[in-house]
Amino acid sequence: MIELDLGAPFDRHRATVKPDWIDWNGHMNVGYYVVAFDQATDTLCQQFGCGFEYTRDKIGMTFVLEAHVTYDREVREGDELRVTTQILDHDAKRLHYIHAMYHAGEGYLAATNELMLMNIDYASRRSARWPDFAMERIEKMAAAHAGLPKPKQAGRLIGIKKK
């Protein structure tokens, strides 16, 4: 397993906006923000030993239960993205975290994605406790992130404000 990165927030994932991620409005489509964020989740899960090999070797899978996205600014084809991740909470089977996507060159916040991820047993496709090797690493990262302030985009309720 790769060495655990205890930087707070976790700041490893990088991506580039691909041509086929652009829609007729000339910017990254809402669905592809989530593609980019899901790849950042893969980078995170690799830290816990729950990445591609975890599924390829038929040990387990991780399923997203719920997601919340804020679309803060547009990004265009070819833009370089930096995604940071903060662990918010966890239990025996689940992980609650939030990604922040930045335009890597200009530094602005482009979007956030709050997620609830669940560990899944490969054979039954049902929820299962995190394997010990993963839980140990999740707890270390959660402890490293415990001092971070709660992002204002976390725990949001969707609605149109009455004026």
Binding site residues, other proteins, CB under 8 A: 24-25, 29-32, 34-35, 37-38, 52, 55-56, 61, 63-71, 74, 89-91, 94, 96, 114-116, 125, 154-160
- What is the closest distance, in whole angstroms, from the C-beta atom of residue 7 to other proteins in the complex? 24
Nearer to other proteins, 46 or 55 (CB): 55
Q: Which two tokens stand for residue 122?
A: 């490969």
Q: Which position has the token pair 């600014």? A: 73
- What is the closest distance, in whole angstroms, from the C-beta atom of residue 53 to other proteins in the complex? 11
Nearer to other proteins, 64 or 128 (CB): 64
Nearer to other proteins, 7 or 150 (CB): 150
CA distance 55 to 49: 10
CA distance 116 to 87: 10
- What is the closest distance, in whole angstroms, from the C-beta atom of residue 110 to other proteins in the complex? 13
Nearer to other proteins, 7 or 63 (CB): 63
Q: Which two tokens stand for residue 162?
A: 């009455």
Nearer to other proteins, 25 or 124 (CB): 25
- What is the closest distance, in whole angstroms, from the C-beta atom of residue 92 to other proteins in the complex? 10
- What is the closest distance, in whole angstroms, from the C-beta atom of residue 60 to other proteins in the complex? 10
Contacts of 162 (CB under 8 A, 6+ apart): none
Q: CA dihedral defined by 22, 26, 28, 30, rounded to 10 degrees? A: -100
CA distance 77 to 80: 9
C-beta of residue 100 within 8 angstroms of C-beta of residue 162 = no
